[in-house]
Structure 1
Amino acid sequence: MRRRGGDGDSGDSGDIGDIGRAERRHGTARHGRARRWWPPWLRSLLLAPLLSCAAVPFLIRLFPSLLTKFVYLNFLAFPFFVDFRRPELLVNNTINLYLTTEPGVTVGIWHTVPSSKGAEAQGKEQRWYEEALADAHPVIIYLHGNGGTRAASHRVQFLKTMGAADFHILALDYRGYGDSTGRPSESGFTTDVLALYDWVKARSGNSSVLFWGHSLGTGIATNAARKLQEERGVQVDAVVLESPYTNIRDAAANIPITKIYRQFPGFEYLILDSMARAGMFFSSDENVKVLDCPLLILHAEDDGVLPPKLGHKLYETALKAYKDKSKVKFVTFPQKLGLGHDYISFNPELPALVKDFLNMK
């Protein structure tokens, strides 16, 4: 008898093997075609942002002036389509004016008078507003942060809040911001602020004048206060720092936008060291060691831009340097209030807090 399954079975097994090998070859070919058909433009599109992101630190090191664009953000002139000559559309008891701070540079300013003078202010011209500065109400020179203009919503809210508390407020757009002419620079900002200070002092009589800086403006405030004291022997009546930092290098090392680059081994060399090469210092931590005027530091616990540890560090530096420790105060606002980086001026308790610090009734 002949055994079944001999040659026949071997033939069947061979056929199945051939089919399997063919399928594997077909699958491999199909997979290869899929890889070959991956569009080159799509690969470029996906790689371009990664390469651009990685190139930024090297571009900054080669061209440190690029950093000024990131720090000042003056090209972000929000809100858009604002008529700066008509501030009354956004805030009451306010007039627009312009001040030439040096040849070729004119800055735009909004002057808000105390709400107690609101009825009297109706229809008045600039001369009346100037004369009102001598009415014994304290005067705030408000120095805003980077980006935007004096018409930004949280800055308008500051005018409303402190105006209702019977302060005069003069909010300027530094050179290169809003409708102000000139190009932004740290020394230029100081020139603008001191020119406005002189203009105010020439009209304010015995009224107190204080610098109030927010975010980037805190470094500008301490720069101006220090220059007044060192070069003129004059003290501003008080300095208020809202959401501050110690210096611009520390600020750059902590803001969210640089988080991805902190993993780079050359982060300090490529980015942080380039701050000085771009002429940006804003050294509030050094400035407060020189000041002797009352200094109030305000920071929200939920500040997601400049962490409160920077405000606390600045406070500790000032407290150590000041002979009269009672002149330095640090106030934090609980996270539950949700004030973040920009909205401390929305806190209804702010005016009373400031008046208490200034020993005002």
Structure 2
Amino acid sequence: MAGLFSPASASPAPPSSLKGAGRRAWLGARGRGPLAASGGDVLCRGRGSGRGLVRGAGSGFVGRGGAWAEGRGLVRGQSARRCGGAARGSAATGTATGTATGPGRGAGAARPGSSVSFPFFVDLQRPELLLNNTINLYLTTEPGVTVGIWHTVPSSRGAEAQGKDQRWYEEALADAHPVIIYLHGNGGTRAASHRIQFLKTMGAADFHILALDYRGYGDSSGNPTERGFTTDVLALYDWAKARSGNSSILFWGHSMGTGVATNAARKLQEERGVQVDAVILESPYTDIREAAANMPITKIYRQFPGFEYFILDSLALSDMFFRSNENVKVLACPLLMLHAEDDAVVPLQLGHKLFETARSAYKDKTKVKLITFPEKLGLGHDYISFNPELPALVKDFLNIK
């Protein structure tokens, strides 16, 4: 594992007159030192090295060239593309990844490489190679941004779904089965193996699942930002609401996606006076700063001088907050939290803390529940969806038979 404060290549020191934010901007603009704050390459070491300060194997504190967790970087602006290396294409835009076929894309249009595209060599336009009863579609969430989505229909409709087109899948949303908008964590795309398992598990339990890749992930265009993620989710919510009739719609966030889920639910409630039917948070945290400070992988580095400056403050400089601890104080919809005792990425104590915050704020305490999974199950951070009891636990909370 690379050291948290691994030195960058030698370079001239910044002018002594520069202090604080000015000094950080000077370093960032030149891609020097462990902090490169300009344009979003927040924790990229040096220029074009393609390394985060701490690289986890599958799950970790800092991904390659980015900020928080699960083996890949989150904060990736224009200049952060340099940190991706040749695996993701050219320095500025990446490499075109094939022919566009979904709505909102011209036939044969070349796609710039996205910021986060793991696992590699998966054709996101052909989910049927990995899943039954699933199609791929694209949605334009704002001018210039199109996101990729997989729609899995309930297994009870599997035989009927064979050979059907996107129009049939859209009409199926109104069949009274609940609809999950699935908001994944930071590492990889909607094709990651534990996400495929989630789609299988909840599809078999007769849920519709709409799993999107945020802007900058997978085959979605644009650059990742917290505000942009919220825009993407609300656009998908509006799209689903217009097609789902009286079917309930819930947000299900995992890891980083829990912050995305509470952001979107709060915005719906405060700006539109609309409550999403439920929010489910899998492996949640309070806010991104506290999550970064409490990840077990960072324990040995917390006493080092500059830990807060280089790691925690850089998240705020990049406008990354994901304040679920503030959002849950506002929400009134049913709120279910799921956390494994052996979560080695987001400690269970943060899930407990968020639960207590929500329970204190909710007038109806029965609307808030935390379910923990014993260490002996070995579910960790990513594998709660592998628990065969999960659908029954969720349905019981939602009062679905």
Fold-level match, TM-score > 0.5? yes
Letter in 1 for 2:155: S
Equivalent residue for 1:65, pick from 34, 40, 54: 40
Higher relative contact order (CA 8 A, sep 6+): 1
Helix, strand or coil at the partner of 1:120: helix
Cα distance, 1:215 vs. partner? 0.3
Question: 1:19-30 to 2 correspondence within 5 Å?
Answer: none
Counterpart Cα distance in 2 of 1:355 and 1:296: 11
1:64/1:275 contact within 8 Å kept? no
Higher helix share: 1
Is residue 163 of structure 2 the alignment partner of residue 123 of structure 1? yes
Report the RMSD for the aligned CA atoms in angstroms: 2.2
Which 5+ residue runs of structure 1 have no aligned equivalent?
A: 1-45
Helix, strand or coil at the partner of 2:239: helix
Q: Cα–Cα, structure 1 residues 134 and 246, in superposed 2: closer, same or farther, change >3 Å?
A: same
CA deviation string 1:271-325 (max 9, x = no partner): 2122211101000000000000000000000000000000000000000000000
Counterpart Cα distance in 1 of 2:116 and 2:248: 33
Equivalent residue for 1:311, pick from 351, 355, 379: 351
Counterpart Cα distance in 2 of 1:186 and 1:352: 32
Counterpart Cα distance in 1 of 2:332 and 2:290: 24
Is residue 80 of structure 2 the alignment partner of residue 105 of structure 1? no
Q: Residue 397 of structure 2 corresponds to which residue in structure 1?
A: 357
Letter in 2 for 1:51: P
1:150/1:173 contact within 8 Å kept? yes
Q: Cα–Cα, structure 1 residues 57 and 164, in superposed 2: closer, same or farther, change >3 Å?
A: farther
Helix, strand or coil at the partner of 1:221: helix
Which 5+ residue runs of structure 2 have no aligned equivalent?
A: 10-26, 44-65, 75-114
Is residue 181 of structure 2 the alignment partner of residue 206 of structure 1? no
Helix, strand or coil at the partner of 1:60: coil
From the CA coordinates, give the structure whose radius of gyration is larger: 1
Counterpart Cα distance in 2 of 1:200 and 1:64: 33
Is residue 173 of structure 2 the alignment partner of residue 133 of structure 1? yes
Is residue 332 of structure 2 the alignment partner of residue 292 of structure 1? yes
Q: Cα–Cα, structure 1 residues 150 and 289, in superposed 2: closer, same or farther, change >3 Å?
A: same
Equivalent residue for 1:342, pick from 382, 390, 400: 382
Helix, strand or coil at the partner of 2:67: helix
Cα distance, 1:58 vs. partner? 6.1
Aligned positions, number: 314
Counterpart Cα distance in 2 of 1:64 and 1:261: 26
Q: Residue 148 of structure 1 corresponds to which residue in structure 2?
A: 188
Q: Residue 246 of structure 1 corresponds to which residue in structure 2?
A: 286
Counterpart Cα distance in 2 of 1:129 and 1:296: 28
Q: Cα–Cα, structure 1 residues 128 and 336, in superposed 2: closer, same or farther, change >3 Å?
A: same
CA deviation string 1:48-107 (max 9, x = no partner): x84349x99964276583337223726452221111111011010000000000000000
Is residue 367 of structure 2 the alignment partner of residue 327 of structure 1? yes
Cα distance, 1:254 vs. partner? 1.6
Q: Residue 265 of structure 1 corresponds to which residue in structure 2?
A: 305
Counterpart Cα distance in 2 of 1:103 and 1:348: 41
Counterpart Cα distance in 2 of 1:57 and 1:328: 46
Counterpart Cα distance in 1 of 2:32 and 2:255: 24
Helix, strand or coil at the partner of 1:171: strand
Is residue 177 of structure 2 the alignment partner of residue 180 of structure 1? no
Helix, strand or coil at the partner of 2:168: helix
1:57/1:271 contact within 8 Å kept? no
Q: Residue 119 of structure 2 corresponds to which residue in structure 1?
A: 79
1:238/1:293 contact within 8 Å kept? yes
Counterpart Cα distance in 1 of 2:39 and 2:146: 27
Q: TM-score, with normalisation over the residues of structure 2?
A: 0.75
Helix, strand or coil at the partner of 1:159: helix
Cα distance, 1:269 vs. partner? 3.1
Counterpart Cα distance in 2 of 1:92 and 1:64: 40
Q: Residue 211 of structure 2 corresponds to which residue in structure 1?
A: 171
Counterpart Cα distance in 1 of 2:32 and 2:349: 26
Q: TM-score, with normalisation over the residues of structure 1?
A: 0.83
